[in-house]
Amino acid sequence: MESKIRQGITTEVLGQDGISMAPLPLEFIGPWKKNLAGLDGENNNITWDWITTDGYLNRLKEAKPSINYCYLVPHGNIRMETMGLSSDTPTETELKKMCDILDRELKSGAIGFSSGLIYTPCNYSATEEIIELCKVVAKHNKVFVVHQRNEADDILNSMEEIFTVARESGVRIHFSHFKVCGIKNRNKIPKIIELLDKAKEENIVLTFDQYPYEAGSTMLSVVIPHWAHEGGTERLIERLKIQSNREKIKKDIIEGIKGWDNFIDFAGFDNIFITSVQSKKNEILIGKSIKEIADYLNKNEFDVIFDLLVEENNSVGMYDNFGLEEDIIHFLKREEQNVCTDGLLSGKPHPRVYGSFPKVIRRFVRELKAITLEEAINKMTHKAAIAMNIRDRGLIKEGMKADLVIFDKDIISDTATFINPIQYPIGIEYVIVNGKIIVKNNNNNSVASGEIIRF
């Protein structure tokens, strides 16, 4: 994972957003691959046969990675093992089975539990389901990592939902890639800060991670309302081929659905850009906005999206411009914050894949002086480790793991841009993982020094 190693990352947390690689019973491999395709592409060169978290972590260990990996048990996988990709509310028996699966997977050494409440099938879950699952997480003294249900118009209610989960279950909360989407929602920032302060006063254990960009990245299919995703990718594609469904989707997007993150509403067709596709035919569209593609193909913007998802069998990545730099600073300064990449690797990726950590130092420490170098390093190391309950990394101290980055504070800079994102940063001289040098003078030594962190 050179894009991470070369920016000084020594440990990655996998399994965020409630949709990942394990648990994965064999009968669900086909539909699950398609469900993940917009994020990861469809990799058919790997035999997906690990079934459980334990099996998956063993496969990671066998791969002899250069950096450390740990894992969050994903909500969507648990729900799928119990009830497929149905949108139904689980019965009492089904909910108990989900809790039992989560208990089993946490005992395998996963560091916590994740959900992505904008992603299928997590988005079909009521608050009560999440509370019951988080009671299991709290029993294990692990963390609940969540992409909340809404980051735009309904963000205040969305945050209140997660704080309700914390109060009712006793679980520790970590918001994934925290942000406020849409220029029109900037006026909610003071109230958001009030909610964070109130949670602190209530002794809710709360942290969040943040990438230093005003644009996000995910799969294009998130612009489609939840109802169209029920049953997985195959059903989504079937629905998109029927004109009456297209009209209903258009209507839902234009009029909005309460509580649903409406990307087209908060970003607009001119601020959603294609980053990856599967076919050669559509590679020419990578890097273009939906508006630019519509003009290029002489199509309506909605039909561009629908046709592209059908042609690519849902395997389309995108990034979206959602806010302003000054709003990033509001949350960057918070003591709950640590740095992340949230990086998707396919096609022409978001520059955060290659530049997040150096950008914090270049832009927010050196140029804007929004935080100090010491604060930035703490947010990248010890604060991040403690948020995930990793106690033996993140400090230079006797008895701690020797994960170290040596850099020139006056030179370190990101070079990745949206136009040319696949560029390594400068100014990082050494990256050391578990006492072994894996990067020296900007060269990757490809040393298998990583560990799989389990507890």
Direct distance between the N- and C-terminal alpha carbons of the chain, in angstroms, rounded to an integer: 23
Average pLDDT, the chain: 96
Q: Tell me: pLDDT of 42 over 70.
A: no
Q: Read off the pLDDT band of 43 (50, 70, 90).
A: low
> Which residue in 204, 168, 186 sits closest to 196, CA to CA?
204
Q: Read off the pLDDT band of 77 (50, 70, 90).
A: very high
Q: Are residues 245 and 377 in the same domain?
A: no
Q: Are residues 202 and 230 in the same domain?
A: no
Q: Are residues 295 and 358 in the same domain?
A: no
Q: Read off the pLDDT band of 383 (50, 70, 90).
A: very high
Residue 398 lies in a domain: yes
Under 8 Å between Cβ of 318 and 274: yes
Q: Are residues 76 and 109 in the same domain?
A: yes
- The total domain count for the chain is 2
Distances (CA, A) of 335 to 200, 207, 209, 251: 11, 8, 11, 41
The amino acid occupying position 332 is: L
Q: Are residues 48 and 195 in the same domain?
A: yes
Q: Are residues 38 and 136 in the same domain?
A: yes
Share of the chain above pLDDT 70, in %: 99
Q: Tell me: pLDDT of 391 over 90.
A: yes
Q: Read off the pLDDT band of 199 (50, 70, 90).
A: very high
CA angle, 285 then 290 then 295, to 5°: 80
Q: Read off the pLDDT band of 44 (50, 70, 90).
A: low
Residue 339 bridge partners (DSSP): 210
Q: Are residues 70 and 178 in the same domain?
A: yes
Last residue of a domain, one of 321, 337, 358: 321
Residue 439 bridge partners (DSSP): 431, 444
Q: Are residues 209 and 223 in the same domain?
A: no
Helix %, strand %, coil % of the chain (to 5): 45, 15, 40
Q: Are residues 86 and 195 in the same domain?
A: yes
Domain range spanning residue 128? 2-214+324-444
Under 8 Å between Cβ of 253 and 271: no
pLDDT in the model for residue 454? 97
- The residue among 367 and 34 whose pLDDT is bigger is 367
pLDDT in the model for residue 295? 97
Using DSSP, state whether 38 is helix, strand or coil: helix
Q: Are residues 310 and 412 in the same domain?
A: no
> Which residue in 244, 246, 266 sits closest to 256, CA to CA?
266
Using DSSP, state whether 71 is helix, strand or coil: strand
Mean pLDDT in residue range 312-335: 96
| Peptide linkage before 121 cis (omega within 30 of 0) | yes
> Which residue in 401, 397, 378 sits closest to 452, CA to CA?
401
Q: Tell me: pLDDT of 254 over 70.
A: yes
Residue 450 lies in a domain: no
Tokens of 178: 């925290």
pLDDT tens figures, 144-180: 999 999 999 999 999 999 999 999 999 999 999 999 9
Mean pLDDT in residue range 121-130: 97
Q: Are residues 372 and 254 in the same domain?
A: no
DSSP state of 81: H
pLDDT in the model for residue 445? 81
pLDDT tens figures, 430-454: 999 999 999 998 777 889 999 999 9
Interstrand relation of 317-321 and 215-219 (parallel, antiparallel or unpaired)? antiparallel
Last residue of a domain, one of 273, 290, 321: 321
Q: Are residues 287 and 352 in the same domain?
A: no
Q: Read off the pLDDT band of 46 (50, 70, 90).
A: confident
Is pTM beyond 0.85? Reply is yes
pLDDT tens figures, 273-292: 999 999 999 999 999 999 99
pLDDT tens figures, 209-238: 999 999 999 999 999 999 999 999 999 999
Last residue of a domain, one of 277, 294, 321: 321
- What CATH number should be reported for the domain holding residue 128? 3.20.20.140
